[in-house]
Structure 1
Amino acid sequence: MPYLELSLRCTEAEQPRYENALEDVGALSVTLLDADADTGNEHAILEPGVGETPLWKSLVLTALFDADADALTLLAALEAFDPGLDWTQVGFRTVADEDWERAWLDQFKPMRFGTRTFIVPWNHAVPDEAQTDDAAVVRLDPGLAFGSGTHPTTALCLRWLDGLAANGELQGRQVLDFGCGSGILALAALKLGAAGAVGVDNDPQALLASADNAQRNGIDERLRVFLPEEEPVAAYPVVVANILASALDALAETLAARVASGGRIALSGILKGQEDDLLVRYAAWFDALQATQDGDWMRIDGVRR
């Protein structure tokens, strides 16, 4: 099935606004790539400090739309949504599934989150920094599912998991990844010492990608994936939900019920400015709630009473 691909260049600071606009007009996916990758100056993103956004300074955003989408109509909608951005340099082309996936994988680079967690595309060598006994290396092929580590919402959750592992709060425990996408968060938790993980997503493609990535990492026996209506009801010591703020609000009671007493939760997919209402909403069940910012995106985490 072909797609209409939109591409544009932007800075790291502009990226959240462009991505928000593209998603608002119906982008099926948005991919972030190093703008210097084709110059020979590309580099892996190694994240030395908490709070640093794991993105390049100059980016190329590519967004996929249905093949029958009209380019001029999309441009008009984007300009109306955020007229303060420069939409004059946007390019369009029609691409096939395999062309888009190949181009994306060729430019997806290894990344580091926290102290031990590395996300490495399956077609890249493991970097020297990740070749240590305690490194948690996830070999990833996202396919068409969301979740590669390049987006701040995913990065926020990966750093949180890495921090839990450093404090001994993941070892031997069960983890729920609600909205698992490519399975990246569940797989990182397993590589960091969790005994087992459950991934839930309403997109069957995401479940296939998660299961495939678990097999690629040799941990498929420790990951189970379900559609929401098939998910077994259980309480977990660790729950992570990287979805959208509106969904986090609507699913607050469900997610709270999935966290065992004294368990930890992390919520992401929250734009700056949306966190206050969610902090109030989740305060009904959680203590020690705090919000952490990465660019224009937020993570909320807390402890179940």
Structure 2
Amino acid sequence: MPWIQIKLNANNDNAETIGDMLMEDTGALSVTFLDAKDTPVFEPLPGETRLWGDTDVLALYDAEADTDTIVAQIKASQLLPESFSYKVEQIEDKDWEREWMDNFHPMKFGSRLWICPSWKEIPDPDAVNVMLDPGLAFGTGTHPTTALCLEWLEGLDLSGKTVIDFGCGSGILAIAAIKLGAKQVIGVDIDPQALLASKDNAQRNGVENQLEVYLPQNQPDNLSADIVVANILAGPLKELSPVIQSLVRPGGQLAMSGVLETQAEDVANFYRNQFDIDPIIENNEWCRISGRKK
């Protein structure tokens, strides 16, 4: 069945209150918060809802809903200016999971690395192939931040090296590192679903014995590696810079992404005391920051 979606522009202070009003007073079936500038938000602390400075609130309704009445209710709530902006759209009902699967194709990174959906045929059996089913965790290779990290890993000599994937998500970077020759890889993530996805994907690729995964509170003491990759976001990369830097052995290498072009220099400056930083690489406004520990 079709649906109606109403999009409102809000802000960090009122988005959650508006969302509650839409659910309780106007009969919205669901409410989604979407950054109006397409800037991601990192994992909130327990009990905390992190929103963006400019936030679009998307409310979904049955197609039979009276949008004039809903807009009148929104105005009556006085949570938005009288001349607030909104957009009403018809949303087609689809099998979204099937549509996403149909559009996720094998992708090549560098000269030899392929990321292949587990339900598609391998294009090059002689290449380094990572079979991936992301499940509920982030990381398919389609996002520029993941692509930047995969290209960096593909260009390294990982033979005999220990690698830490900090914020491992689906395990895509960790498994790629193993397939590219790493001796041992450790994945760390705050989300138990990510650890489950990483384990499942490692088993799918026959490398489960070379991958260890941990929640941060359970990781071994004095954990360190020759290579560390952290595809998270600018905020955590700055806040956790002492932790991330401590994971890299002297002379080891670090790559970070999840950083917008406008944020890259600021993030890099948190690491310059301990690292010789390479030229920053950009892909569709997203950046990779890499360097070698002094």
TM-score by length of 2: 0.71
Deviation at 1:231, TM superposition (A): 1.3
- Equivalent of 1:296 in 285, 288, 291: 285
1:149 correspondence with 2:137: no
Partners of 2:167 and 2:188 within 8 A in 1? yes
- 1:223 corresponding residue in structure 2: 211
- 1:186 corresponding residue in structure 2: 174
Deviation at 1:91, TM superposition (A): 5.2
**Aligned residue type for 1:115:** S
**Secondary structure of residue in 2 paired with 1:172:** coil
Instruction: Check 1:220–1:252 CA distance in 2 against 1; reply closer, same or farther (3 A cut).
Output: same
- 1:265 corresponding residue in structure 2: 254
- 1:103 corresponding residue in structure 2: 99
Partners of 2:42 and 2:233 within 8 A in 1? no
- 2:164 corresponding residue in structure 1: 176
Deviation at 1:290, TM superposition (A): 2.5
| Structure 2 Cα separation of the partners of residues 267 and 171 of structure 1 | 21
Partners of 1:177 and 1:185 within 8 A in 2? yes
1:203 correspondence with 2:185: no
Deviation at 1:21, TM superposition (A): 3.2
Instruction: Check 1:22–1:206 CA distance in 2 against 1; reply closer, same or farther (3 A cut).
Output: farther
Deviation at 1:106, TM superposition (A): 2.5
- 1:247 corresponding residue in structure 2: 236
1:136 correspondence with 2:128: yes
Partners of 2:225 and 2:248 within 8 A in 1? yes
TM-score by length of 1: 0.68
Instruction: Check 1:90–1:136 CA distance in 2 against 1; reply closer, same or farther (3 A cut).
Output: farther
Instruction: Check 1:304–1:24 CA distance in 2 against 1; reply closer, same or farther (3 A cut).
Output: closer
- Equivalent of 1:279 in 268, 279, 284: 268
Deviation at 1:88, TM superposition (A): 6.0
Instruction: Check 1:185–1:89 CA distance in 2 against 1; reply closer, same or farther (3 A cut).
Output: farther
| Structure 2 Cα separation of the partners of residues 89 and 109 of structure 1 | 32
**Secondary structure of residue in 2 paired with 1:290:** coil
**Secondary structure of residue in 1 paired with 2:270:** helix
Q: Which runs of 4+ in 1 moved over 4 A?
A: 22-28, 87-91
Query: What root-mean-square deviation, in Å, do the aligned CA atoms of Structure 1 and Structure 2 show?
Result: 3.0
Deviation at 1:131, TM superposition (A): 2.3
**Secondary structure of residue in 2 paired with 1:180:** coil
